[in-house]
Amino acid sequence: MARMTAAGERPATAPGDEMYALVERLYPLCRSITGDGVRATLDIVGEHIPLQVHEVPTGTQVLDWTVPQEWNIRDAYIADTDGNRIVDFAASSLHVLGYSVPVSATMPLADLRAHLHTLPDHPSWVPYRTSYYQPEWGFCLAQETLDAMPDGEYEVRIDSTLADGHLTYAEHMVPGQVPDEVIVSCHVCHPSLANDNLAGIAVATFLARALAEQTPYYTYRFIFAPGTIGAITWLARNAERVDRVKHGLVLACAGDPGSLTYKQSRRGDAEIDRVMRHVLAASERPHRVTEFTPYGYDERQFCSPGFNLGVGSLTRTPYAGYPEYHTSADNLDFVSREAMADTLAVCREAFAVLDRNRQYVNLSPYGEPQLGRRGLYDALGGRSDTKQAQMAMLWVLNLSDGEHSLLDVAERSGLPFDTVATAAGALHGAGLIKA
């Protein structure tokens, strides 16, 4: 339970503490693109925000894909002739090749090697490997563990099932003033990887909670789904209503020590792209903005040419951009409360701009209207930024021609968006502009 201040408000560090605690709980679970690990993950997220969970049967056609068989695993190990477990799934879910078919055999190390995956350049790390759509089996282990294994016979067992079942994903809705939607997506298919997907899940969860405490303009839809096949399934099941999606953000790698990276949508000039560029620049945080590429996370599904949604991707260090990526070194020590809290703060700042970005029409466009007799200058008295606020009013009046948004005003004037939006609110209240 987070500490409470005397005023009854959560301290500034509380979101980071709570997000880290959520990552800690989720970390041991064995997740994949289907199975009970995904359901257990969503059950825990559901303790923080209400979720609508969807189960899509094996064999369902989803765009050009088919929902695969469901994979579950109970145990797996490699044991020596004395019964000592050299590699043990119980110690880490990374030790098994994802989607491994069941196996129970005894074989020499020479034959076993073809089914072992290591990282020779990082001999103490265990890699994350999968074989979703090919019937394979295997183990992932540290190179130093393999080097210490003498030739001889080994018992190999993977107690798993591949059977008809379901693909599971979940949604959470934050109702807005309009039905137009902003989607926030994160993937829930990786096992014990703290940054590459758990930090994104945590930030999405607490972003949803924060938005629910407001009355946002847009309706916000949070999607917790396995990577690739999950997003494709969601798109297939929502193709008839996808035109409601006006903006979107994919969250991943949200807790590492690197600076923030925003990957633009396929459009490159979508409103979410402009908002993210503006917010990151105005915040003076170290950051990068990169062009869209059809590789990465599920932004490539939302931005596929048939949908071409305005969906970008926010990470800290991008996918495959840090040595720990898809290894056991992406652990609880690799992510921090501060990094997740910073990622959450940027999301909140961006959505605050997105929610208030409007186009207005000046109702007194012939010459400059007299602001003093309407009390607008008096309303600014005592403000430390009085001159800036006055300039914001003049800029809003001048660019309120039905073609420029408040973000246009902020970018052209060099004024903070919040100052521009506040000025627009005052002018609207005085009857000088209308949306």
Q: In the chain, which residues fall in CATH 1.10.10.10?
A: 359-434
How many angstroms separate the Cα of 136 from the Cα of each of 102, 104, 167, 228?
9, 13, 20, 20
User: Tokens representing 292?
Assistant: 């869209």
The yes/no answer on whether domain 14-67+166-355 falls in CATH 1.20.120.160 is no
pLDDT on residue 384: 58
| 196 annotated ligand-binding residue | yes
pLDDT under 50: residue ranges of the chain:
1-13
Distance CA 410, CA 391 (A): 11
The yes/no answer on whether domain 359-434 falls in CATH 1.10.10.10 is yes
pLDDT on residue 404: 96
Q: In the chain, which residues fall in CATH 3.50.30.90?
A: 71-163
pLDDT on residue 370: 87
The per-residue DSSP string of 271-307 comes to HHHHHHHHHHHHHT--EEEE---S-SSTHHHHTSTTT
Q: What is the distance of C-alpha 117 from the center of its chain?
A: 28
Of the candidate CATH numbers 3.50.30.90, 1.10.3720.10, 3.20.20.70, 3.30.750.210, the domain formed by 71-163 belongs to 3.50.30.90
pLDDT on residue 321: 95
Record the pTM: 0.93
pLDDT on residue 12: 44
Q: In the chain, which residues fall in CATH 3.40.630.10?
A: 14-67+166-355
Distance CA 219, CA 353 (A): 15
pLDDT on residue 375: 80
290 sits in which H/E element: strand 287-290
Distance CA 357, CA 353 (A): 6
pLDDT on residue 213: 94
